[in-house]
């Protein structure tokens, strides 16, 4: 019988395994030691949890092979139910996370197949509590637990890697890292001892040879004084008094010579290399750029996690599926496609090109943006340039996506600690305002010079404006993107510094698409404000047009300062909101700021809502571009966050 029949709780706990539980060479850690290493070594925990979480969050899908070129998603098979709830209150994510963590630490993983009350279950068992027993180097005869129970080979799903001596077990990467981890541990102990002693290094005291001889009382008094100082008992910041020309000579390494930071970075690099993980993906960003981070994200799911996924899929197929009914041509697959398919913009472009027409209806797109359906919005539209223009794809006349790439160039990639090139919000906001004002003033001066060179009479100001429209938009979007990326990072680190100093689960490049879209919106709005000012002068006409144009452009320059302040608040708020979401925070609290806040903002000071909700004024955060204009302009409010109730 493949599934063990159990009346309820399966007792696998027992006394802790003894050193004789598994016979291992002295150079190899016993299995229960790996757990201690995982708890004590931050570099090991970082890498192992990175692997486990990235695989567990993919999700397992079940398919049935219809033919060599076709398959169908299965949702009502026993395997789907078993993986969805392997035990009561145990999710697929936790099951896979534990399995991958066990494989990463021990190179071993165990699931016991149970039948509880007529329901099939899977029980993950720590490798410290079970082992293959007897048999030969090819296969065990049975599995034995620390509590003395025995299970047949067909009652256990056994995952393992490679070991040189037999086919029954694996060899943990931790064994190859033991010397390095021991060195890191001793270095940490030495550093802790240094700070415990007030950062005073071991050294030698010497007295001049011609100094007056000490009396026994004087020597005893000095020894007591020095011992009190060296052991930290003299009070913080105490200073010893050296008598008779005595000299203190340090004989230990200082922190710079010990190279603590470099040592820790080297340890993480070596641990990452042992698990075949590119260093930038675990926070080592010395040589990271925006482009190679994107490429390494692809490599992660192809080369780093690919072998793990294949192994787990095949073991489930070989050891679990044969015991389930109706399993012919059924198999499981990790949902890696969701991670490899690219951004929504890239998917939309590829789908449109492949189909030769739009691939979503109006109502489907409205649903994605939480908008109600409209009449006539359920059919696909075929563009005229496809049916009559002879083009292969509606995107043949669209702008080249590569044209947008320069917007992202030169933007600072954030590291695992706040980048030194980022200033505080006030400084970044002032720099943004200066850039906006300087740029707008330059455009205004150029227009005034061009118009002033014309003959008498009102020139065609709108034509002059339109001639520089595309260049102004491109320049303004680049300016807004550069400052916007910095301001969003400042906002993010205000939250990360308080809630998630290691920036775990957060990456600055995820914000880039939103920032570029916001830059485009602000650029178009600022450009339109300038056009309207020029159009008003054109419509008014008259002999005083030069003075009117000067006043109109001056007002446009002033408006640029207001726009910079509004956009800065929005970008700061968005960055903080993104970091809060990545850090697992669940509540946001409105904090009214500024000397003279508008009444609606003053009234909602302290208002708390869930992270995905909007405040009573309809805004997601201060400066939210989706809100009403009167709620946004010159807003200086901020947000606080909380984990929950």
- Write the pLDDT tens digit of every residue in 495-509: 888 888 888 888 888
591's CB contacts (< 8 A; 6+ apart) are: 605, 606, 637, 638, 639, 640
> How many angstroms separate the CA atoms of 84 and 80, rounded?
6
- Give the residue, 111 or 542, on which the prediction is more confident: 111
Between 197-201, 323-327, 513-517, 610-614, the lowest mean confidence (pLDDT) is in: 197-201
**Top-ranked range on mean pLDDT: pick from 119-123, 288-292, 391-395, 542-546:** 119-123
Pairing of β 108-116 and β 119-125: antiparallel
Residue of 371, 368, 316, 323 whose CA lies nearest to 347: 368
Strand, coil or helix: 244: coil
99 φ/ψ sector (left φ>0, alpha ψ -120 to 50, else beta): alpha
pTM: 0.48
Query: What is the arithmetic mean of pLDDT over 634-639?
Result: 81
At residue 97 the predicted structure's pLDDT band, cuts being 50, 70 and 90, is very high
Between 111-120, 157-166, 407-416, 459-468, the lowest mean confidence (pLDDT) is in: 407-416
Strand, coil or helix: 543: coil
- Write the pLDDT tens digit of every residue in 561-617: 888 888 888 888 888 888 888 888 888 888 887 777 777 777 888 888 888 888 888
At residue 356 the predicted structure's pLDDT band, cuts being 50, 70 and 90, is low
pLDDT of residue 459: 81
Asked if residue 513 has pLDDT above 60, the reply is yes
Interior CA angle at 385 toward 383 and 387, to 5°? 75
- With residue 5 as reference, give the H or E element that holds it: strand 4-6
Give just the sign of the alpha carbon dihedral 457, 462, 465, 466. negative
Asked if residue 195 has pLDDT above 80, the reply is no
pLDDT of residue 95: 94
- Give the residue, 61 or 223, on which the prediction is more confident: 61
- Rg (alpha carbons) of the chain, rounded to whole number: 34
- Give the residue, 373 or 30, on which the prediction is more confident: 373
Interior CA angle at 369 toward 366 and 370, to 5°? 85
Give how far the C-alpha of residue 400 lies from the chain's centroid of Cα atoms, to the nearest Å: 29
> How many angstroms separate the CA atoms of 78 and 119, rounded?
10
Strand, coil or helix: 519: helix
DSSP 637: -
Which percentage of the chain shows pLDDT scores above 90? 12
At residue 341 the predicted structure's pLDDT band, cuts being 50, 70 and 90, is low
**Top-ranked range on mean pLDDT: pick from 119-123, 201-205, 236-240, 508-512:** 119-123
Asked if residue 100 has pLDDT above 90, the reply is yes
pLDDT of residue 566: 85
pLDDT of residue 287: 57
Q: DSSP readout, 166-209? A: -SS----HHHHHHHHHHHHHHHHHHHHHHHHTTTPPPEEEE--T
Query: What is the arithmetic mean of pLDDT over 69-84?
Result: 89
> How many angstroms separate the CA atoms of 507 and 414, rounded?
8
> How many angstroms separate the CA atoms of 57 and 300, rounded?
14
> How many angstroms separate the CA atoms of 413 and 486, rounded?
10
Is 284:267 a contact under the CB 8 Å cutoff? no
Is 552:451 a contact under the CB 8 Å cutoff? no
pLDDT of residue 13: 38
At residue 259 the predicted structure's pLDDT band, cuts being 50, 70 and 90, is low
Is 215:257 a contact under the CB 8 Å cutoff? no
DSSP 213: P
- Write the pLDDT tens digit of every residue in 275-324: 888 777 777 666 555 555 666 667 777 778 888 999 999 999 999 999 99
**Around 220, how many Cα atoms within 13 Å sit in the side-chain half-sphere?**
3
pLDDT of residue 253: 56
Give how far the C-alpha of residue 75 lies from the chain's centroid of Cα atoms, to the nearest Å: 31
DSSP 620: S
pLDDT of residue 229: 73
pLDDT of residue 221: 85
Strand, coil or helix: 73: strand
């Amino acid at each position: 019988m493949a599934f063990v029949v159990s009346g309820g709780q399966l007792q696998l706990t027992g006394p802790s395994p003894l050193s004789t539980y598994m016979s291992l060479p002295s150079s190899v850690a016993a299995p229960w030691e790996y757990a201690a290493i995982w708890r004590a070594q931050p570099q090991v925990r970082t890498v192992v949890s990175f692997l486990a979480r990235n695989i567990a969050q993919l999700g397992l899908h079940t398919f049935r092979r219809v033919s060599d070129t076709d398959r169908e998603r299965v949702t009502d098979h026993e395997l789907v139910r078993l993986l969805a709830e392997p035990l009561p209150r145990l999710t697929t994510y936790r099951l896979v996370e534990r399995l991958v963590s066990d494989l990463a630490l021990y190179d071993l993983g165990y699931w016991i197949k149970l039948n509880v009350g007529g329901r099939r279950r899977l029980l993950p068992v720590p490798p410290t509590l079970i082992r293959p027993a007897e048999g030969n180097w090819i296969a065990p005869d049975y599995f034995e637990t620390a509590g003395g129970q025995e299970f047949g080979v067909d009652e256990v799903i056994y995952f393992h890697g490679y070991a040189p001596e037999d086919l029954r077990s694996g060899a943990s990467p931790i064994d190859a890292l033991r010397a390095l981890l021991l060195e890191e541990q001793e270095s940490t102990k030495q550093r802790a001892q240094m700070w415990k002693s007030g950062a005073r290094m071991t050294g030698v005291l010497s007295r001049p040879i011609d100094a007056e001889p000490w009396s026994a009382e004087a020597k005893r008094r000095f020894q007591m004084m020095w011992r009190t100082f060296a052991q930290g008992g003299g009070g913080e910041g105490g200073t010893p008094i050296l008598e008779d020309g005595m000299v203190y000579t340090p004989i230990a390494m200082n922190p710079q010579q010990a190279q603590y930071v470099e040592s820790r970075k080297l340890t993480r690099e070596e641990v990452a290399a042992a698990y075949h993980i590119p260093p930038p993906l675990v926070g080592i960003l010395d040589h990271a750029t925006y482009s190679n981070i994107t490429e390494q994200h692809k490599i992660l799911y192809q080369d780093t996690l690919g072998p793990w996924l294949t192994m787990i899929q095949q073991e489930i197929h070989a050891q679990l599926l044969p015991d389930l009914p109706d399993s012919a041509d059924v198999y499981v697959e990790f949902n890696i496609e969701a991670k490899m398919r690219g951004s929504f913009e890239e998917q939309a472009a590829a789908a449109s090109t492949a189909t030769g027409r739009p691939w979503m209806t109006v109502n489907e797109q409205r649903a994605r943006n939480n908008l109600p359906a409209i009449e006539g919005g359920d059919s696909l539209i075929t563009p005229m340039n496809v049916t009559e223009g002879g083009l292969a794809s509606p995107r043949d006349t669209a702008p080249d996506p590569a044209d947008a790439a320069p917007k992202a160039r030169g933007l600072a990639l954030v590291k695992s600690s706040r980048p030194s090139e980022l200033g505080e919000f006030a400084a970044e906001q002032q720099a943004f305002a200066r850039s906006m004002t300087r740029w707008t003033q330059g455009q205004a001066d150029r227009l005034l010079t061009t118009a002033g060179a014309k003959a008498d009479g009102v020139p065609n100001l709108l034509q002059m404006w339109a001639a520089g429209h595309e260049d102004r938009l491109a320049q303004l979007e680049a300016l807004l993107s550069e400052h916007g990326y910095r301001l969003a990072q400042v906002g993010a680190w205000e939250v990360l510094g308080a809630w998630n100093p290691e920036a775990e689960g957060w990456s600055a490049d995820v914000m880039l698409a939103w920032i570029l879209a916001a830059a485009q919106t602000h650029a178009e709005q600022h450009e339109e404000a300038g056009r309207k000012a020029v159009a008003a002068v054109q419509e008014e006409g008259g002999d005083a047009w030069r003075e009117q144009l000067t006043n109109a452009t001056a007002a446009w320059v002033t408006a640029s300062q207001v726009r910079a302040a509004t956009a800065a608040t929005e970008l700061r708020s968005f960055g903080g909101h993104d970091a809060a979401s990545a850090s697992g925070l669940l509540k946001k609290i409105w904090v009214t700021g500024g000397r003279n806040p508008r009444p609606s903002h003053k009234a909602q000071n302290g208002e708390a809502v869930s992270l995905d909700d909007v405040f009573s004024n309809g805004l997601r955060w201060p400066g939210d571009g989706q809100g009403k204009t009167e709620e946004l302009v010159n807003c200086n409010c901020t947000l606080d966050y909380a984990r929950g109730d």
